[in-house]
Structure 1
Amino acid sequence: MSKKCELTGKRPLKGHKVSHANNKTKRRFLPCIKKVSFKSKLLNKKLKITVSNAAMRSIDKKGSFDQFMKTVKSENLSIRLKKIKKSIIQKSA
């Protein structure tokens, strides 16, 4: 499973684990990512997407998956979701 959010583009960060003695060892900060299925009312189908918790909260704030897809920037979306966004915008117009 990819460690990247398909909606927000969040991916792992690199950094150091710093001990009390100030010893630094390399580590990765992984985003909290889940596989979630969303229902698109305009397209009448379910979509299974890898999403971060921050993206889940954003979708809840907008009200629905379709509303979120209309307002999100395309540069953050995966290639598959860019096509879905285009079809959602065409259906709503």
Structure 2
Amino acid sequence: MSRRCELTGKGVQTGNLVSHSNRKTRTRFLPNLVNVTLASDALARSVRLRVSAAALRSVEHRGGLDGFLVKARDTELSDDARALKREIVKKLATATA
């Protein structure tokens, strides 16, 4: 399981810890990932995803999982999230037609 957000693509960053004496030590900065179950209104089911805390706030801000995925770029999404987005877009298209 990679340390990457399934919705935003945020991953591990590398950098230096710099001491008072200006010595540099390489380190890894890990994203704040949480396992969450999000409800999809269009699909009428719940989906388990591993997302960052910042992405979770963005999902709530955009009005839920459906609203977030419809506006998200495909390049940022994981394979599972991309398939979920296709399902939601297809379901919303048949509902409006």
Q: Could you list the runs of 4 or more consecutive aligned residues of structure 1 that deviate by over 6 angstroms after TM superposition?
A: none
Offset, 1:64: 1.2
Q: Give the AA of the match of 1:25.
A: T
- Structure 1: segments with no counterpart, 5+ residues: none
Q: How does 1:1-93 map to 2 (within 5 A)?
A: 1-93=1-93
Instruction: Figure out how many residues of one structure are paired with residues of the other and give that number.
Output: 93
SS in 2 for 1:57: helix
- Structure 2: segments with no counterpart, 5+ residues: none
SS in 2 for 1:77: coil
Q: Distance in 1 between matches of 2:16 and 2:79?
A: 32
Q: TM-score, normalised by structure 2?
A: 0.92
SS in 2 for 1:51: strand
CA RMSD, Structure 1 to Structure 2 (Å): 0.8
- Per-residue Cα deviation, 1:39-86 (whole angstroms, up to 9, x for no partner): 111112111100001111111111111111111111000011111101
Q: Give the AA of the match of 2:51.
A: V
Q: Distance in 1 between matches of 2:64 and 2:23?
A: 46
Identity of aligned residues (%): 40
